[in-house]
């Protein structure tokens, strides 16, 4: 396994921001109302080409950005979503060639779930089976039909049938409107103890919706469609180990930088150590480690993925942030070419 030192240095910087013991969250502080659901989910992969093929060909999402990991520019950062990469639809990856698989456990995101139209599971079962996708299993949770499947590195995914999800799907990769993914439905957090993280989510504006079989479901009112977080409590399961197929962090959406600063201040006032605002070119980001171990990000909806290329050609060219522009010829030589 290649060790990208810059990347791990960046992870360490973020990991240093550990929550302190006494949190005010949920203890008389006003709940926030700036957070509008998920923004993106970022995971790790072992092969850029396999990853790209899976999300575009198999799942039918649009690659909306081909850039590099800003903290480790010799590695891609690939973004997949709807036509313009609307917050709440964006699955992103750091493909580190040949890294070992992660070991699933607690303190991480367990399953990332996508919304598809009601009645589409026959189509999806057939499509995923033909593509050789593993781990297919149909079940139901909280009154919704769910089709679980594994990503190329064992990533925990599921489709959920949702009636009348108003979000526009991307149909440019051959999956029609009757079946195409609308965006995220939810994500589940696997924790040894739900307590402090549930309090944090409530502070962030999430409300408990239901609880069943050791899973607490929370939702944010007035969200972008990717409104639900499930907390799976697993007191006897040890911590996960980050690797291919693991979620690196999960990002929540705020409209703009003003709202982001409000959230940052509120989190810091309740005892969280939050990073300074970081420019990610397509959004602004702050990060903080949650009590259960999951790395959270708050990301802005502005400026969006069309800030440096036309909507018609999103994701086609290799885009580099200004600080890494001088590395272009080296990176073009070094990065594995992707299929369109
Ligand atoms: Zn992120």
The pLDDT score that the predictor gives to residue 30 is 78
In tens, the pLDDT along 100-113 reads 999 999 999 999 99
Best CA proximity match to 42, nearest among 275, 301, 248, 253: 248
Q: Convert the pLDDT of each residue in 110-157 to its tens digit.
A: 999 999 999 999 999 999 999 999 999 999 999 999 999 999 999 999
Share the mean pLDDT of the chain: 93
Q: What's the pLDDT at 29? A: 61
What is the 135 CA–ligand 1 centroid distance (Å)? 27
Average pLDDT rounded to a whole number, residues 216-222: 97
Q: What is the dihedral of CA 44, 48, 50, 56, to 10 degrees?
A: 90
Report the alpha-carbon angle 161-166-169, nearest 5. 75
In 137-205, which ranges are continuous DSSP H helix? 195-203
pLDDT digits (tens, 9 = 90+) for 240-299: 999 999 999 999 999 999 999 999 999 999 999 999 999 999 999 999 999 999 999 999
Residue 76 CB-half CA count within 13 A: 31
What residues form DSSP beta bridges with 230?
Answer: 188, 217
Higher pLDDT, 216 or 5: 216
Instruction: Identify the band that residue 23 occupies on the pLDDT scale cut at 50, 70 and 90.
Output: low
Percent of the chain with pLDDT over 70: 91
Q: Model confidence at 340, in pLDDT bands (50, 70, 90)?
A: confident
Reported as a single tens digit per residue, the pLDDT across 42-57 is 999 999 999 999 999 9
Beginning with the edge strand found earlier in the chain, give each strand of the sheet holding 144-150 in spatial order: 137-141, 144-150, 156-162, 108-117, 183-191, 228-233, 215-219, 207-212
Distance 250 CA to ligand 1 centre (A): 7
Q: How far is the CA of 275 from the centre of ligand 1 (A)?
A: 13
List the structure tokens of 143: 């009154």
- pTM beyond 0.95: the answer is no
Range scoring the smallest mean pLDDT among 7-11, 166-170, 237-241: 7-11
Task: Compute, in angstroms, the gap from residue 176 CA to the centroid of ligand 1.
Answer: 29
Q: What is the pLDDT of residues 179-211, one digit of tens each?
A: 999 999 999 999 999 999 999 999 999 999 999
2: confidence class by pLDDT, cuts 50, 70, 90: very low
Strands 207-212 and 215-219 come out as antiparallel
Is the pLDDT confidence value at 13 over 60?
Answer: no
Q: How large a percentage of the chain has pLDDT more than 90?
A: 90
Question: In this predicted structure, what is the pLDDT of residue 339?
Answer: 84
What pLDDT does residue 111 have? 98
SS3 295: strand
Q: In the 3-class helix/strand/coil scheme, how is 208-274 assigned residue by residue?
A: EEEEECCEEEEECCCCCCCCEEEEEECCCCCECECCECCEEEEEEEECCHHHHHHHHHHHHHCCCCC
- Quote the ligand 1 centre to 96 CA distance (angstroms): 16
pLDDT greater than 60 at residue 215:
yes
**Nearest 5°: phi and psi at 170?**
-85, 125
Which pLDDT score, from 0 to 100, does residue 244 have?
Answer: 98
Does pLDDT of 229 surpass 80? yes
What is the greatest pairwise CA distance in the chain? Answer: 55
The CA 285 to ligand 1 mean position distance, Å, reads 7
Q: What is the pLDDT of residue 28?
A: 52
Q: In angstroms, what is the span from residue 297 Cα to ligand 1's centroid?
A: 6
Instruction: Give residue 93 CA to ligand 1 midpoint distance, Å.
Output: 10
- pLDDT of residue 14 exceeding 50: no
Q: Across residues 59-70, what is the average pLDDT?
A: 98
Phi, psi torsion values for 266, nearest 5 degrees: -65, -40
Under 8 Å between Cβ of 190 and 148? no
Q: Which of 26-35, 222-231, 297-306, 315-324 has the lowest mean pLDDT?
A: 26-35
Range 296-319 average pLDDT: 97
* CA dist., res. 340 & res. 317, Å (int): 10
In angstroms, the CA 107 to CA 289 distance is: 10
> How far is Cα 298 from Cα 290, in angstroms, rounded to an integer?
12
Is there a contact between 140 and 146 (Cβ–Cβ < 8 Å)?
yes
């Amino acid at each position: 396994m290649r060790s990208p030192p810059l990347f791990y240095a960046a992870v360490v910087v973020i990991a240093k921001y550990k929550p302190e013991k006494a949190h005010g969250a949920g203890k008389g502080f006003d709940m926030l109302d700036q957070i509008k659901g998920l923004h993106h989910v970022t995971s790790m992969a072992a092969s850029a080409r396999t990853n790209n093929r899976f999300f575009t060909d198999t799942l039918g999402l649009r690659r909306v950005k081909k850039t590099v990991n800003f903290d480790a520019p010799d590695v891609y950062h690939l973004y997949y979503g709807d036509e313009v990469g609307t917050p709440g639809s964006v699955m992103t990856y750091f493909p580190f060639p040949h890294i070992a698989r992660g070991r699933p456990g607690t303190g991480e995101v367990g399953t990332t779930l996508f919304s598809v139209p009601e009645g589409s599971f026959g189509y999806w079962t057939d499509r995923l089976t033909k593509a050789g996708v593993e781990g297919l299993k149909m079940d139901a949770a909280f009154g919704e039909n769910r089709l679980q499947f594994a990503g190329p590195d064992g990533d925990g995914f599921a489709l959920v049938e949702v009636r009348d999800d108003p979000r526009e799907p991307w149909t440019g990769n051959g999956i029609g409107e009757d079946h195409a993914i609308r965006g995220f439905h939810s994500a589940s957090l696997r924790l040894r103890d739900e307590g402090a993280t549930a309090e944090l989510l409530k502070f962030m504006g999430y409300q408990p919706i239901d609880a069943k079989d050791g899973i607490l479901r929370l939702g944010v009112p007035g969200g972008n469609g990717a409104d639900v977080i499930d907390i799976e409590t697993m007191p006897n399961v040890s911590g996960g180990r980050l690797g291919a197929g693991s979620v690196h962090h999960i990002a929540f959406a705020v409209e703009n930088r003003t709202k982001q600063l409000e959230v940052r201040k509120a989190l810091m006032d309740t005892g969280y150590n939050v990073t300074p605002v970081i420019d990610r070119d397509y959004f602004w980001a702050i990060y903080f480690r949650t009590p259960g171990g999951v790395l959270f990000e708050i990301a802005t909806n502005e400026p969006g993925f069309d800030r440096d290329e036309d909507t018609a050609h999103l994701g086609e060219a290799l885009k580099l942030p200004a600080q890494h522009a001088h590395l272009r010829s080296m990176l073009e030589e070094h990065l594995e070419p992707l299929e369109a």
